[in-house]
Amino acid sequence: MMEGILRTELGYGEYIIKQGFCDYWVLNGMFVSGGKLYLTNKRLIFEAVKVQFIVKEFEIYHSEIEKLDDSGILLGITVHTVDKKQFKFRAFNRGEWVKKISEEVEEDTYRSNLYNEKDLDRKNKIGIEVTAIVLAVILIFGAMESESENSKNTESIVNENKSSSINETNDINLGWNKDRIHQSLSQFERPVSEFETKSLKFRIDVIEGNKLRMAVWQSGYSLESQPLEILDYSFLEIGEDGLPFMSFVGSWHYTVRLDKDFKPISVEVGGGEDKPEVEEIIKTTYFSNPSEIINTSNVESSNNKNITNKEITSILESSSFVVNELKVIKRKHGKALVYINETYENPMLAIVNSNNSMVEFSQYGKLSGMIDTTISDKSRDIYWVIKTEVFNKETYIDNIGLINMNLLTGEIAFTSEYPATMEADWLSYSREDYNYLNIDLDNAYELTSIDKNDFNGDGYEDFTINARGFNGNGYVKFYAKAQGFSLE
């Protein structure tokens, strides 16, 4: 994983063990999003990306951590401290975070005990307890392995009947009742469904232009409350397994897996640096079948089902791209938007056209949660605005891609290069400290966030890329046009 820019100064002998984008749960359920979580060998550090947030940064030393548990939100972690405080985060690969934090807390406790001569007897007891725990774990895993072996014969039957365990109802009048949903969702052409997982609640509607819109709430919240997210870019496709799925792209990416009758089975939540987490659907209410839009321009044509990953890889490799990993984001009209080499040193977004066997767009770097959103132009085409980060040992290069998700075309809207530092903030140094770099420091900006608004009052949403550099904070405005966006 690429090292990020940590503003907090590390102490002597302190080093980063794990880092990743996260949300911090604060202010009675409002997220401080776009932050980053760092685990060092001494403490847990949170830094908000946007400095205007109330919570900018804080730290929790290992010795202050009493326990960790599921926060009750999707991908959630709650850190309980010895002074009875709670810190709630939402981060990808939650299991790995809990494992790493627990290991460091245990190691920190062990080191403290090791150098405390008064606790020698206690250490012996700990050794005995650990041995007992290890034996217990061995016995448990042995039983689990046996149980797993016995369950192999029934696994396929369970998968085939997964949707049968969902609490299902069908009430079209409920779907049309606009008094029971948030006012921001009142405009729609047709309700599709509402469903819940253990952590989240969803509603899907067909909106103007025969497109799908999905709203997301934390489980336990009323549909009348403000949704966590409203995603109006979506596509409905048939997967290689022959089953349909719906994808919704926003600051978080959701893939709703459907059965052969277009009923939701599970939801994958992804975005950022780690693999998506999967939540099974436990309750759903159906209003109408979304399959009616399967042949519209919003959905992949039937010819696209024949575009295989093997063909995409072949086109990339024939264009001299090395493909170690391949993730298909979307296929349409003989094209595919893909993300390759996600866990390697040379990740890249690309648009591959199987009609002419060409790679028509490429954007190097790791996907960044700092700038990751969708926006419509005046023709109602949906664009994915995404930042990628390239680490060149001495500098970072931030790229802003503008990808038309309806036509699958792309362009690099903005690029900036700035000095790379592994610990302190790069702006904490003087210009003279970077004399060895061959870059223009007056135009060296780190791209930090995005704002969307109708800046020129023409009734269409525009966007601003915010940045920071030696000359202070800056921004670049892009205005909606009939086709795409421009600086004028």
pLDDT tens readout for residues 22-57: 777 665 444 555 578 889 888 999 887 654 445 567
- Quote the strand ranges of 126-176, DSSP E: 167-170
Phi, psi of 328 (to 5 degrees): -85, 120
pLDDT tens readout for residues 108-130: 776 666 545 444 454 454 454 54
Q: Is the pLDDT of residue 3 over 80?
A: no
Please name the helix (run of DSSP H) or strand (run of DSSP E) that holds residue 280, with its range, or none.
strand 277-280
The whole-number average pLDDT for the span 227-232 is 82
pLDDT tens readout for residues 282-331: 888 888 777 665 544 344 434 444 577 889 999 999 998 999 998 888 88
Please name the helix (run of DSSP H) or strand (run of DSSP E) that holds residue 173, with its range, or none.
helix 172-176
In sign, the C-alpha dihedral spanning 218, 224, 229, 230 is: positive
The whole-number average pLDDT for the span 372-396 is 87
pLDDT of residue 425: 85
Give the confidence band of 161 by pLDDT, cuts at 50, 70, 90. very low
The whole-number average pLDDT for the span 356-385 is 88
Whether 455 and 465 have beta carbons less than 8 Å apart is answered as: no
Q: Is the pLDDT of residue 94 over 90?
A: no
Give the confidence band of 159 by pLDDT, cuts at 50, 70, 90. very low
pTM of the predicted model, to two decimals? 0.51
pLDDT of residue 49: 64
Could you count the other beta carbons within 10 Å of the beta carbon of residue 123? 13
pLDDT of residue 155: 38
- DSSP assignment string, 375-392: EE-TT--EEEEEEEEEE-
